[in-house]
Amino acid sequence: MYQKLQADYLFTGKKMLHNGEVLIAQPNGTIEAIVAAADAGLDIQKIEGVLCPGFVNTHCHLELSHLKGVIPMHTGLVNFVMHVMAKRFYEPDVIEQAIVAAEAEMLRNGIVAVGDICNTNHTLAQKQQAAFRYYNFIETSGWLPAIADKRFKQTQELWQQFPGPKSIVPHAPYSVSTALWQKMVPHFSGNVITMHNQETPAEEALFKQGKGGFLQMYAQMQTDNSFFKPSGKSSLQTVAPYFTHAAAVILVHNTFSAKEDLRWIRQYTQQNNILLFTALCINANLYIEQQVPPVSTMMEADITITIGTDSLASNYALSVLDELIMINKRFPKIPFHTLLQWATCNGAKALDMDNIVGSFTPNTQPGILQLKGMDVLHNSMQHAQVKRLL
Ligand SMILES: [Zn+2]
């Protein structure tokens, strides 16, 4: 028997309907149609608030879930990275329990698909239970050119263990040597690639002048940096040519991206037929750097925005809705249907899953959410709550 749902508002993934349209779905959540109330027949279930497709989280590190509350807030990125490297090692059962709990939390928070960064195989057992749709980003890093071979071999071994969809991705410009980039590039072809981008001003200082906080980090890690020659360009403009054959690129954070860089990358990806997305992780940016990402500038540059939660190492929750609530607080003029599009349809496109999730398109299975507590008249999401209906 079909489910027939009618709410005050129906967000399709792309637009907001408010004339009492009815969403019709099969019991397993497969979407049949959106029809006018007069054509929907009997047994229509009335729902308070907004009906919305399931959320897509385009940036997460499920394997770091055991670090919740472990790393202090507001340390800045360089110190944060050092903390993660020093503290990520725990007993396997502690790591596994945290992964199970974090996945359950995402499910409760209405998330249906996740772009997840993997440096280890710790999440593999949980992912094989297939509660979610994952795009597994197998991440590699290594600043010393001499270790590129070894690191890339480890990454390929990890890549083989994970189910698809998946791709091999760089961690960040400041943690990947030219030698390692060159090994990765042939694997980018036709895939979705993601990278932590411009999360601290130190990244610009390193690539433009060979200075800044990362020099202290390399020194503390006893990593020789004498081989490195600054390009004189921004980190993003330095590494973007490696992405030329990728199908899509998701740039994560962009907390300190300059307007020129955002315009430049938009044009560069357009010229090279690469789909470009940014992943906003505003709560993580506030946690680590106390900085709000340049959302208005991204919108002015016509960049397609998606939402990520980052990990529990730098966030108090894995909730796309909590990210939207913070963006709504900091940017109250952005219409909330635009925010919902970032969290659904745009995220699904970024992960190349828009044929399954992200909108109420017939024959897809996007999950159906009820959003309550939205103040539509005043464009406020501050009291919004989410419940998964299907
Ligand atoms: Zn991250």
pLDDT at 89 over 90: no
- What is the Å distance from ligand 1's center to 87 Cα? 16
- The pLDDT tens digits of the residues spanning 321-345 come to 999 999 999 999 999 999 999 999 9
Task: Write down the pLDDT at residue 75.
Answer: 86
CA of 60 relative to ligand 1 center, distance in Å:
6
Q: How confident is the model over 46-70, as pLDDT tens digits?
A: 999 999 999 999 999 999 999 998 8
Instruction: Give pLDDT tens digits for 101-150.
Output: 999 999 999 999 999 999 999 999 999 988 789 999 999 999 999 999 99
- Quote the mean pLDDT of the chain: 95
Whole-number Cα distances in Å, 310 to 212, 261, 264, 299: 25, 23, 25, 21
Give 74 Cα–ligand 1 centroid separation in angstroms. Answer: 16
What does the buried/exposed string (b/e) look like for 87-106 if buried means 16 or more CB atoms within 10 Å of the residue's CB?
A: ebeeeeeebbebbbebbebb
- Encode pLDDT of 182-203 as tens digits: 999 999 999 999 999 999 999 9
Under DSSP, is residue 226 helix (H, G, I), strand (E, B) or coil?
coil
Q: How far is the CA of 95 from the centre of ligand 1 (A)?
A: 18
Number of residues assigned to the chain: 390
CA 21 from centre of chain: 31
Distance of CA 290 to the CA centre of its chain: 19
Pair 44, 22: CB distance under 8 Å? yes
Q: How far is the CA of 283 from the centre of ligand 1 (A)?
A: 12
- For the chain, list the domains and their CATH numbers: 1-53+359-390 (2.30.40.10), 55-357 (3.20.20.140)
pLDDT of residue 132: 84
- Return the pLDDT at 88: 79
What's the confidence (pLDDT) of residue 76? 86
